[in-house]
Structure 1
Amino acid sequence: MNGFHDIAASRVRGFTERLVLAAFVCGTALLLHWSVWPPLWLIIYTVSQTADKRLFSEWAAQPDRTPDRAQEIRLIVSVAVSVIIFSSMAAYTWFLGGTVGRLFAVVAISGALLHVSLQMYQKRRFLYAAVGPHALYLLALPTISAFTEGREGLMLLTLNIGTLVFLANLALAVRQSHRAMIEVTEARRTAEQASAAKSNFLAVMTHEIRTPMNAVVSAAHLLKRTDLTSEQTEHVTMLGEASDVLLGLVNDVLDISKIEAGKMTIERATLDLPDMVDGLTRIWRPQIEQKSLRLEVNIAPDLSRHIQTDPLRLRQILFNLLSNAVKFTAHGTIRLSVVQHDGILCFEVADQGIGIAPALKDRIFSSFEQAEAATTRRYGGTGLGLPISRQLARLMGGDIELCSIPHVGSAFTLSLPYLPVRTAPVEEVPMSASPTDTPRARRVLIVDDHEVNRRIVSLFIKPMGFDAVMAVNGAEAVEAARVETFDAILMDMQMPVMGGIDATAAIRAEAGPNQTTPIIALTANALDGHKKAWEAVGVYDFLTKPIDPDLLIDTLMARVNAAETDARKTA
């Protein structure tokens, strides 16, 4: 948005205000000296303002458009004419309204000067056109009276001294205001650039961290499928747990960044409430038992089994609350309760842990903070779980409240709108992913610039009867897709020579053997913008690294089977 657009928008917005002020000036002039001239002046001023608004409306509606020289001159003339007409009524009250009329004329012109200076300061030519006529009136009226009223009139010339001082101060104020606006604009531009740099940094770091993590996590999955000794199994388990923690930290940083940028979206779907709670307890029960704690789960019998909510975010919040309870409880019981009160669904996670002092309760909901530094050193963590959980809860229309007593325990209560689903949804029958469903060898093109990633993906899909063909960048993938038919293409995003999105667009644009072949994105770029970029080229299966092997197989089998079914129907 440029300075000219701001002036145009201000002129259009202030149309009604100027007419109301003109009506007030007209009424005052009639009280000071009754005649036909004030109403006639009001009519002329209204016509001039209507024309002025029509001229500026075209430019106010187009922020990026700038008038040429001739158009700018017409607009400047319109402003000058409007000012000349407005201040002419000050001359009327000055000469015909007596002492009060002269005071009113000075006040009216001074107020108008201040108004147009603040409105027009961004463009000097417009500023001069608006300020000039007002200033001339303010200087000319006392001067004319000085020559027509004799010796007493000469005293009025002292007004010009005050006028010059006023104009000098006004010019200084306009200059300072303009300088301040430039500084504000520069600060905003700097902040926007910093925000863009932050987003770019997160995108790059996400990709760079997830790429090697994919190799670590996937190697752990592959090792689990081999014959291991008990000691080796323990080592692989430790490797997997450490990878899960690291991945959780990466996801937390991305989530808090998306929330702060206002890019976090909340979805709504049907959720099986007892099934979700059971899944969460299965995840945490081994650690709870390892610490010799007890876990109690209570779901109120009057609750609907199925509810409408964002399943992913609800699991995330409860996962964080349970993680917090397990982390800070050394002995005793952890209790998860689910009830509803007056249309509000309440999840309470209570523990018998270290508790939180009242003065520190607000800090734990601030990003990257825990109650005390000693807590971080002893228990670890980034301090992002609870801030993310509360902000997600508020995005979902609810909140999280805390009740805690030091050395006794804490109770976190998640409150959400209770939206029951009275009829259970029809459950989908999962597709079989067994090798017996693949009577022939299916060929998959794996596109990734990292050799380890290509190797790992091929090992994941080989037991399902897939043969793998490798490409190290998008250009190689496009060339391979021209000469050989594939059952599916697994495409990375960020690669040298040609990226995955450009390669996908090229494959879809050519009338080759793989124009309609299912393409699945396997990428370390996990931000929402990346997903939308894939959707723009027709890719709706978006799997982020580290790759979950089960999810990869399920997605691949579903897409390949669907494509084969469609091919049989059209055959």
Structure 2
Amino acid sequence: MPASEYRIVASTRRKELKTRLWMAGVLGAIAYMVAPGWTPAVWYAAVLLTQLIDVIVFAPARASDDDWRPSPGFRIAAIASALITTLVYSASGAYMWLYGGEVGKLFAMMQFAGGLLHVCLHMHPRRDILLAAMLAHGGYLLGMPIYEAFAQARPVMAVAAVAGVLYLAHLAVAVRQSSETNRALREAERESREAAVRAEKASAAKSEFLAVISHEIRTPMNAVISAANLLRPTRLTRAQREHVRMLSEAGDILMGLLNDVLDFSKIEAGKMELESIVFDPREKLEALGRMWRPRAEAKGVALELEIAADLPTAVRGDALRLQQILFNLLSNAVKFTDQGTIRVEARWAEDMLSVVVRDSGCGIAADRLDHIFASFEQADAGTTRRYGGTGLGLAISQRLAQLMGGGLTVSSTPGQGSTFTLQARLSAAEPVEAETVMAPAVEVESLDGLRILAAEDHPVNQRILSLLLEPMGCRLTLASNGAEAAALAESAVFDVIVLDMQMPVMDGLDAARRIRAQTGPNAGAPIIALTANALDNHRQAWAEVDAFAFLTKPIDPQALAATLGAARGSARAAKSVWQAA
């Protein structure tokens, strides 16, 4: 703290130097007019000298940092400098008092009072320096009237000394209050900085926690969902098929909850970025209707879709996030409606898509409407127990809608249903010829003989890869860590290399760098990241090591097969280039 106090005083004195010198020039000119002679010129020269010495004395404090500690010699020099400079500066007032008559006395008192006010404003962070400066100015303020009262036998001048005492008392109170205020401000600033540091640490810890939780949940979920996918095409009894279906649905729900938490964290951190692509909103709405109509009808609920005729066939915006919002709204409508109708109405006006989702479900109590979009909130405590969910779906949907330049609102009547209104700003665009997007199914024969090096440290995941890929005719070589994978890449030829991210000995990223640094045929082999680390920064890290693709666990068999098929073509092209070289 002493370092900062001295630094504040030193910086302020240096900043006000020009003002003090200019004011000294004015005072010298007035002193000369009131009492002509050579003394004002000598006084001004003395002011210049003492101010220069003051600048030199306080230089270490101006250049200091928080680790600097003023030495005893510096403290003494600083106090002496403050005392001498103020003694010299106010000496012109003493000169005018003695030689300027009544006008000079009046002006001198004003100068002494102004000097005291000046040092109180600028030197209060350091009490020792302030007292030294006040001693000089205050000595003149009280000393000159007392001298006049006794030396000149004018007792009435003692009244001026009393006035000076009262003035000093007022200044003392003001200095104390100012010091307390500044101390409180500095303390508040320190607490604010500490709070910001704690918030940054908490945010980093939260991000790290989410990354760890995401990884640790996705790893066992990979086994659960992959096992269900592997069981589905086998010969099963009706009861076994029902068990597999329950496994798959439970896995989908768990992955949905995990993705909700990650999306919410991304929005909270301000890292959610929206895409801008051209898409057909009518097509997206109809696809959602086809998805949810069978589920609604299974409960005896009708799902009706009404799309305005003037809805553009092509708009620009984030199709995925729009679908995510509507998916949440329809999911809630189906979840909370046991009879009646769910109606979806889409309208278009002035680059704003409005979608209204009305249901005839249980509705929401009036005292809960204000909380329905809050994080981790649901209509009541029993909702989670009965229907499940994190309470994040609507919070995420509303924030996504706001990011899209619109909003999400709700009205509801308990026992009669709810109405959610989504507004999203989308700009009309020229229709583009849509690419034919086939289902990501790949013929097994297309992967026959594909030589794959896969680095995976988890035995269950190794087994899943074998069960998924070997029936497709792939020739799979497994490594338990990145170091083993890099060593194998030096001694054998592979068409594709699949790397996990978190592994013992050497992680997937370091393994990818080492493989890329080799000179053999695998240096340019397509590298596919297959990892439970699913955050955006993980995806970016793999992009930086020139990964061909980034896939997350749980493994989607069709997506993996499609990616391997694409990588095979890339591997053949790279191999031809290497052989030609």
TM-score range normalised by the length of the shorter chain: 0.7 to 0.9
Following TM superposition, by how much is the alpha carbon of 1:245 offset from its aligned partner in structure 2, in angstroms? Answer: 0.7
In structure 1, which of residues 111, 123, 147 is the aligned counterpart of residue 121 of structure 2?
111
Task: Pick which of 320-329 and 401-410 moved more.
Answer: 401-410
**AA aligned opposite 1:214:** N
1:437 is aligned to 2:446: yes
Instruction: From the superposition, tell whether residues 403 and 161 of structure 1 become closer, same or farther in structure 2 (CA, over 3 Å).
Output: closer
User: Which of 201, 217, 220 matches 1:209?
Assistant: 217
1:119-268 mapped onto 2 (5 Å cutoff): 131=130, 135=134, 138-146=137-145, 148-151=147-150, 152=158, 154-155=161-162, 156-157=164-165, 159-160=167-168, 163=171, 167=175, 174-268=182-276
1:531 maps to which of 536, 539, 543? 539
Check whether the contact 2:112–2:137 (CA below 8 A) recurs between aligned residues: no
Could you tell me how far apart the structure 1 residues matched to 2:319 and 2:432 are? 16
CA distance in 1 between partners of 2:406 and 2:29 (Å): 60
1:517 aligns with 2:516: no
* TM-score, with length taken from structure 2: 0.79
Deviations 1:182-219 (A, max 9, x none): 44433333333222222222211111111000100111
User: Contact 1:493–1:499 at 8 Å: present in 2 too?
Assistant: yes
1:492 aligns with 2:491: no
Q: Per the alignment, in what secondary structure is the counterpart of residue 149 of structure 1?
A: helix
1:419-458 alignment, distance < 5 Å? 419-427=427-435, 433-438=442-447, 441-458=449-466
> What SS does structure 1 have at the residue aligned with 2:235?
coil
User: Structure 2: which amino acid aligns with 1:434?
Assistant: E
Match of residue 293, structure 1, among 295, 301, 312: 301
Does the CA contact (< 8 Å) of 2:293 and 2:303 recur in 1?
A: yes
Q: Distance in 2 between matches of 1:160 and 1:179?
A: 28
Cα pair distance change 1:111/1:168, threshold 3 Å: closer
Asked if the contact 2:316–2:427 (Cα under 8 Å) also holds between the matched residues in 1, the reply is: yes
Q: For 2:371 and 2:337, locate their aligned partners in 1 and report how far apart those are by CA, in whole Å.
A: 20
Task: Show the counterpart of 1:120.
Answer: none
Q: Do the aligned partners of 1:501 and 1:537 also contact (CA within 8 Å) in 2?
A: yes
Gaps of 5+ in 1: 118-126
Deviation at 1:282, TM superposition (A): 3.0
How far does residue 405 in structure 1 lie from its aligned partner after superposition?
A: 2.1
What percentage of residue pairs aligned between the two structures are identical?
41
Question: For residues 5 and 128 of structure 1, what CA distance do their matches in structure 2 show?
Answer: 10
Query: 1:61-86: per-residue Cα shift (whole Å, max 9, x none)?
Result: xxxx989999xx99xx99x9999989
Aligned counterparts of 1:6 and 1:286: Cα–Cα separation in 2? 76
Deviation per residue, 1:223-273 (Å, 9 max, x gap): 112122222222211111111111111111112122212222222222232
SS in structure 1 of the partner of residue 372 of structure 2:
helix
Q: How far apart are residue 490 of structure 1 and its match?
A: 1.3
| Alignment equivalent of 2:313, drawn from 301, 305, 310 | 305
Letter in 2 for 1:286: P
Between 1:238-247 and 1:292-301, the stretch displaced more is 292-301
Taking the aligned partners of 1:68 and 1:423, their CA distance within structure 2 comes to 67
Indicate the larger mover: 204-213 or 371-380.
371-380
Instruction: Assess if the C-alpha contact under 8 Å between 1:138 and 1:163 holds in 2.
Output: no
Q: Distance in 2 between matches of 1:507 and 1:27?
A: 76
Q: Is the 8 A contact 1:5 1:59 kept in 2?
A: no
Q: In structure 2, what is the Cα distance between the partners aligned to 1:286 and 1:107?
A: 83
TM-aligned CA distance change 1:525 to 1:179, over 3 Å: same
SS of corresponding position for 1:543: strand
Aligned to 1:347: 355
- In 1: Cα distance, 2:308 partner to 2:244 partner: 39
Cα shift at 1:175 = 4.9
Instruction: Check conservation: 2:87, 2:137, Cα contact below 8 A.
Output: no
**SS of 1:424's equivalent?**
coil
For residues 468 and 354 of structure 2, what CA distance do their matches in structure 1 show?
41
Answer whether contact 1:142 1:159 (CA < 8 A) is retained: no
Moved more, 379-388 or 174-183: 174-183
1:304 positional shift: 2.1
Cα 1:146–1:268 change in 2 (3 A) is same
The separation in 2 between residues aligned to 1:338 and 1:209, in whole angstroms, is: 37
What are the superposed Cα offsets for residues 23-50 of structure 1, whole Å, 9 maximum, x if unpaired? Answer: 998999899999799xx99xx9xx99xx
CA contact (8 A) 2:282 2:313 kept: yes
Q: CA separation of 1:499/1:99 partners in 2, compared to 1, >3 Å: closer, same or farther? A: same
Match of 1:480 among 469, 488, 505: 488
1:526 CA drift (Å):
1.7
Counterpart selection for 1:274 from 263, 274, 282: 282
Native 8 Å contact 1:272 1:306 kept in 2 = yes
**Which residue is 1:409 aligned to?**
417
Q: How far, CA to CA, are the matches of 2:23 and 2:301 in structure 1?
A: 81
CA-atom RMSD, angstroms? 4.4
Aligned to 2:571: 563
Matched, 1:314 2:322: yes
Q: Unaligned regions of 5+ residues in structure 2, if any?
A: 35-39, 97-103, 151-157
Structure number with bigger Rg: 2
Return the offset for 1:562: 2.5
Distance 1:87 1:418 in 2: 73
Report the equivalent of 2:509: 501
Report the TM-score, using the length of structure 1 for normalisation.
0.80
Over 3 Å counting, the alpha-carbon distance change for 1:130 and 1:542 in structure 2 is farther
Aligned partners of 2:93 and 2:109 also within 8 Å: no
C-alpha deviations, 1:389-433, integer Å up to 9, x for none? 111111222211112222222121111112122131451676983
- CA 1:483 to 1:341, structure 2 compared with 1: closer, same or farther past 3 Å? same
User: Which secondary structure does the structure 2 equivalent of 1:546 belong to?
Assistant: coil
CA distance in 2, matches of 1:433, 1:225: 16
CA contact (8 A) 2:28 2:92 kept: no
